[in-house]
Structure 1
């Protein structure tokens, strides 16, 4: 039988929308779209992709830490970016700053809008727990 481990940031949006930040089932962890929410669940850094990406990756680290894994075990990411052409360089810079030499597969989608006014990035992940940390 496969065990399931669910993680929450304990922010209002999780209850209001009815979702988990991450679910580990077997050797994979599926991480919901992370964004630039602070500890209280308030959206921060409207229209600033660089600051939003930094906070988004920090929130991702909280998820990874819960499961005792590292960013080197991320095998896939999907980035949703408002104004992708305008933010392409900042998106790439944020990705390189976070992952360094590690290169997960990646899909970057330009979208017309995201949940919060001024939100320009959201990132979901898949993590393989059996890969070296």
Structure 2
């Protein structure tokens, strides 16, 4: 597989956990759970759900840009949310704002905890390059 088919930010978590942010397989781009890392790999918003979701969406856009695809080519997503009852409305509102009129398949799971202390949200997704941008 060509190196351009794999995308990484070059942050410590990738080598610590042994994963890539995304990998292209044919026409599909499989994206690992995105969270609120900044450009250096730091996690600047522990406990702040709204800030984490904004940064997570920005990181999703970084992956999409690497492959030259858009949000409208996302076919499915899985959201992991700590304290989903408390954050359900904000999750739905942010999802609608992020996707506009596009409607990918989606699953939202309430979880007890995520990898980092204070991490409240993570989003994994799949994009299909055959869809119109």
TM-score for both structures, normalised by structure 1: 0.96
Distance, in Å, in 2 between the alignment partners of 1:106 and 1:3 is 30
Partner of 1:13: 13
Aligned position for 1:68: 68
Between the aligned partners of 1:77 and 1:63, the Cα distance in structure 2 is 14
SS in 2 for 1:97: helix
Normalised to the residue count of structure 2, the TM-score between the two structures is 0.96
Deviations 1:18-44 (A, max 9, x none): 000000010000000000000000112
CA distance in 2, matches of 1:84, 1:47: 13
Q: Distance in 2 between matches of 1:118 and 1:19?
A: 22
Return the offset for 1:3.
Answer: 6.2
Equivalent pair of 1:49/1:91 in contact (CA under 8 Å): no
Task: Report the count of equivalent residues.
Answer: 132
Q: Compute the displacement of 1:96 (Å).
A: 1.0
Pairing 1:35–2:35 present: yes
Query: Residue 86 of structure 1 corresponds to which residue in structure 2?
Result: 86
What stretches of structure 1 move > 3 A for 4+ residues in a row?
A: none
Q: Which runs of 5+ in 1 are unaligned?
A: none
